[in-house]
C-alpha cells in the first residue's frame, strides 16, 4: 500500500492507498471519475464491502471507499471510542482530500455520516444512511459490550461469534455467507478497531443522537432493509420522525448486510440519489 500525504491523495490517480490524517493512517480505495462520493462501512466491515455496489454505479461518480479507524488497512491510533471522533476522521478526509461531497454510510458508517453532517455541514453535501440507527437500546448495548469483552479476552471465540452474527445478517445471498464472514473477520484484524467502534455504539445507548438529528441542515435519505433484524424498521422510523424532510427507501428481500444481499437494488437507488443536484431526496 502506498502512503500519501493529504495533498498527494487529492491529486493522485492511484486507485488504492492511504493518507495521513491526524493520529491515523486512513486506507482508501477509489473508483471512477467525476463528482466525489464518500462511502463509509459499518462495524466489522471494511472498504471492500462496497466493491460490488460501486462497480454498478454509473459514470460521473468518483467513489472514495474509506476504512474506519482500526478497520481494514486503517490504523487505530488513539481511539477514544466515540462517534464524534470517527466523524472527525471522515471530515478530515473531506477537508484534506476531496472537498465537500455526498457521504454514504452503512450502519455505524451511517451514524458517522450523520454526525459529520452535524459537525461540518459545509463539507457533507448529502447524507445517505443505510441500515442505521440514531439510538442503541439496552439489549443492543449489552450485545456490543459482550462482543467487546470477547474481542479483548478471547479473539478466536470472538471470530467465531462474528461469523455467527454474519450468518444472521444475510437473507438472500446465502451461498456467500462463509466468504462474507471471512472478509469481515479479516477486516477487524486483532479486534482493536472493533472494540473502539463498538464502544462508540454503546455510547449511543447512554446519549442518543435522535434529538440532534433535527439540527441537520443537509439533505438526508434513509435506506432500510426489509428483513433487517439487527437494525429494524422501527429504527428507521425514529430517524424519519426526527427528520420529516428526509427521504426513505425500503429495499425488499434484504437483511442488515444490504450490500451483500441486494447489490443491484442498492446501487440503483444510490445512483438515483447521488445524481440529484437540487433539493432534498424524496
Q: What is the DSSP string of 180-242?
A: HHHHHHHHHTTSHHHHHHHHHHHHHHHS-STGGGGG--S-EEEEEETT-SSS-HHHHHHHHHH
CB atoms within 10 A of CB 240: 17
Q: For residue 212, is it within any domain? A: yes
pLDDT tens-digit readout, 198-252: 999 999 999 999 999 999 999 999 999 999 999 999 999 999 999 999 999 999 9
Q: For residue 254, is it within any domain? A: yes
pLDDT at 12 over 50: no
Number of domains making up the chain: 1
Q: For residue 86, is it within any domain? A: yes
Q: For residue 42, is it within any domain? A: yes
Identify which has the larger pLDDT, 4 or 33.
33
Q: For residue 279, is it within any domain? A: no
Closest to 167 (Cα-Cα) out of 182, 149, 157, 152:
182
**Structural domain range at position 143:** 3-274
CATH of the domain at 73: 3.40.50.1820
pLDDT at 117 over 60: yes
What rounded mean pLDDT belongs to the chain?
Answer: 93
Specify whether the backbone of 44 is left (phi greater than 0), alpha (psi in -120 to 50) or beta. Answer: left
Q: For residue 182, is it within any domain? A: yes
Q: For residue 280, is it within any domain? A: no
Closest to 241 (Cα-Cα) out of 137, 136, 135, 110:
135
Please, which pLDDT band fits residue 275 given cuts at 50, 70 and 90?
Answer: confident
Q: For residue 281, is it within any domain? A: no
Amino acid at each position: 500500500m502506498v502512503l500519501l500525504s493529504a495533498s498527494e491523495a487529492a491529486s493522485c490517480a492511484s486507485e488504492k492507498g492511504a493518507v495521513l490524517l491526524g493520529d491515523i493512517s486512513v486506507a482508501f480505495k477509489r473508483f471512477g471519475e467525476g463528482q466525489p462520493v464518500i462511502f463509509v462501512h459499518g462495524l466489522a466491515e471494511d472498504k471492500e464491502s462496497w466493491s460490488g455496489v460501486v462497480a454498478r454505479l454509473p459514470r460521473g461518480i468518483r467513489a472514495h471507499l474509506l476504512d474506519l479507524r482500526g478497520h481494514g488497512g486503517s490504523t487505530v491510533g488513539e481511539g477514544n471510542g466515540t462517534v464524534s471522533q470517527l466523524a472527525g476522521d471522515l471530515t478530515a478526509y473531506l477537508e484534506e482530500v476531496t472537498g465537500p461531497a455526498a457521504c454514504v454510510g452503512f450502519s455505524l458508517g451511517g451514524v458517522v455520516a450523520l454526525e459529520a453532517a452535524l459537525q461540518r455541514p459545509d463539507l457533507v453535501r448529502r447524507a445517505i444512511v443505510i441500515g442505521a440507527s440514531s439510538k442503541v437500546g439496552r439489549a443492543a448495548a449489552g450485545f456490543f459490550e459482550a462482543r467487546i469483552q470477547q474481542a479483548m479476552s478471547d479473539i478466536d471465540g470472538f471470530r467465531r461469534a462474528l461469523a455467527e452474527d454474519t450468518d444472521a445478517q444475510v437473507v438472500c445471498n446465502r451461498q456467500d455467507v462463509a466468504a462474507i464472514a471471512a472478509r469481515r473477520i479479516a477486516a477487524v484484524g486483532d479486534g482493536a478497531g472493533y472494540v473502539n467502534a463498538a464502544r462508540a455504539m454503546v455510547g449511543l445507548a447512554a446519549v442518543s443522537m435522535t434529538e440532534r438529528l433535527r439540527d441537520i441542515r443537509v439533505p438526508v435519505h434513509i435506506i432500510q432493509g426489509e428483513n433487517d433484524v439487527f437494525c429494524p424498521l422501527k429504527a428507521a422510523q425514529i430517524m424519519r420522525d426526527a427528520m420529516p424532510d428526509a427521504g426513505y427507501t425500503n429495499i425488499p428481500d434484504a437483511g442488515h448486510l444490504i450490500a451483500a444481499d441486494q447489490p443491484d437494488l442498492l446501487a440503483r437507488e444510490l445512483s438515483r440519489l447521488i445524481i440529484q443536484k437540487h433539493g432534498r431526496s424524496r
